[in-house]
């Protein structure tokens, strides 16, 4: 199966290098290029460009599908419970595979607690809302706590050590490292098909710190965009759930963009997925709201963060 540019038949190292040098480093980039542009940029004959584009499209399954095919694909998505019935209800059953889910909200809203809970819950059997799966936890802020995994695992009836053993943890030290970890994930997922959940908590903090201000906005967006699309693609290709978190100030319209620019409420680009806004409420209560999900009803629910984890 074709999973990256280098797997395409007839792409040798020299063409591959030319493509990458010209900025066509992913299957997606090639699939949506015009033969002429690709030919010029990579210095390859137009017929070769045409063939490579066609193969990239086939590899990504970019073609007309019938609505029935779309339905069947979507019916295959599976759900992971959040341990809150209210939140599951809002999400139509839980966090979906084949989808990227974003938790966004201010500091202390519970994004990291949700990530911990889901990396435990993915391990549950299907009748308890899990996928008998394993999780990958990419931590950019150093806020992962095994103690929370232990407590949450006990509370849902899993052996804590087994649960911890089923979570692959990596601390990402900067944005390049973070991107590289995701780029290399295919390898781990191929070796360990039980992985059904990939978390990046938080997806934005390194990028914000390393590319501050307006003057760095373009390059930051470009890198983040690539990173996010890789996560979406992992989800679709391996039928896994990806979760990203994004710390934002109280302004709901300020995503990924530069807070000093986004005042008009422009989202700078759109990455497919489900976005869940979390707001603090009284005490341990939190309010969750789904934003821009075409297939989910609008509405808010309340959940709680307890010692045992996420609950109603």
Q: How far apart are CA 248 and CA 202, in angstroms?
A: 11
β strands within 22-153, DSSP E = 79-80, 95-96, 99-105, 134-139
Give the C-alpha distances (Å, rounded to integers) separating 48 from 9, 36, 61, 134: 11, 10, 20, 41
Residue corresponding to tokens 């990419």: 138
> Whole-number minimum distance, CB 122 to Mg ion, in Å?
19
- Does 110 bind ligand ADP (CB under 6 A)? Our answer is yes
- Does 299 bind ligand ADP (CB under 6 A)? Our answer is no
> Whole-number minimum distance, CB 44 to ligand ADP, in Å?
47
Selected from 33, 244, 305, 310, the binder of ligand ADP by CB under 6 A is: 305
Selected from 183, 225, 306, 312, the binder of ligand ADP by CB under 6 A is: 306
- Does 50 bind ligand ADP (CB under 6 A)? Our answer is no
End-to-end CA distance of the chain: 43
Selected from 39, 97, 109, 242, the binder of ligand ADP by CB under 6 A is: 109
Q: How far apart are CA 272 and CA 181, in angstroms?
A: 21
Contact segment (CB under 6 A) with ligand ADP among 53-61, 100-108, 165-173, 190-198 equals 100-108
What's the CA angle centered on 138, arms 28 and 307, to 5 degrees? 135
Contact segment (CB under 6 A) with ligand ADP among 107-115, 131-139, 227-235, 269-277 equals 107-115
Contact segment (CB under 6 A) with ligand ADP among 153-161, 174-182, 192-200, 301-309 equals 301-309
Nearest to 250, CA basis, from 277, 210, 289, 286: 277
Q: Which residues bind ligand ADP (CB under 6 A)?
A: 105, 107-113, 143, 284, 305-307
């Amino acid at each position: 199966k074709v999973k990256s540019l280098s797997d395409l038949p007839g792409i040798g190292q020299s063409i591959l290098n030319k493509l990458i040098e010209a900025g066509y480093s992913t299957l997606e980039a090639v699939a949506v290029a015009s033969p002429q542009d690709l030919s010029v940029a990579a210095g390859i004959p137009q017929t070769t460009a045409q063939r490579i584009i066609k193969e990239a499209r086939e590899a990504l399954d970019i073609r007309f599908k019938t609505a029935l095919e779309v339905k069947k694909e979507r019916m295959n998505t599976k759900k992971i419970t959040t341990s809150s019935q209210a939140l599951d209800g809002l999400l139509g059953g839980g966090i979906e595979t084949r989808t990227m889910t974003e938790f966004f909200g201010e500091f202390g809203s519970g994004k990291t607690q949700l990530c911990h809970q889901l990396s435990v819950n993915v391990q549950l059997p299907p009748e308890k809302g899990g996928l008998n799966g394993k999780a990958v936890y990419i931590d950019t802020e150093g806020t992962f706590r095994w103690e929370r995994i232990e407590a949450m695992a006990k509370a849902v009836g899993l052996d804590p050590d087994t649960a911890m053993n089923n979570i692959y943890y990596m601390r990402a030290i900067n944005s390049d490292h973070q991107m590289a970890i995701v780029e290399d994930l295919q390898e781990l997922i191929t070796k360990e098909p039980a992985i059904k959940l990939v978390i990046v908590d938080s997806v934005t903090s390194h990028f914000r710190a390393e590319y501050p201000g307006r003057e760095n906005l373009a390059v930051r967006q470009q890198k983040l965009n690539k990173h996010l699309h890789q996560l979406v693609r992992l989800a679709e290709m391996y039928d896994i759930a990806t979760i990203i978190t994004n710390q934002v100030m109280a302004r709901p319209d300020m995503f990924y963009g530069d807070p000093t620019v986004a005042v008009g409420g422009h989202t700078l680009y759109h990455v497919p997925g489900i976005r869940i806004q979390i707001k603090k409420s009284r005490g341990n209560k939190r309010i969750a709201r789904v934003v821009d999900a075409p297939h989910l009803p609008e509405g808010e629910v309340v959940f709680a963060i307890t010692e045992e984890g996420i609950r109603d």
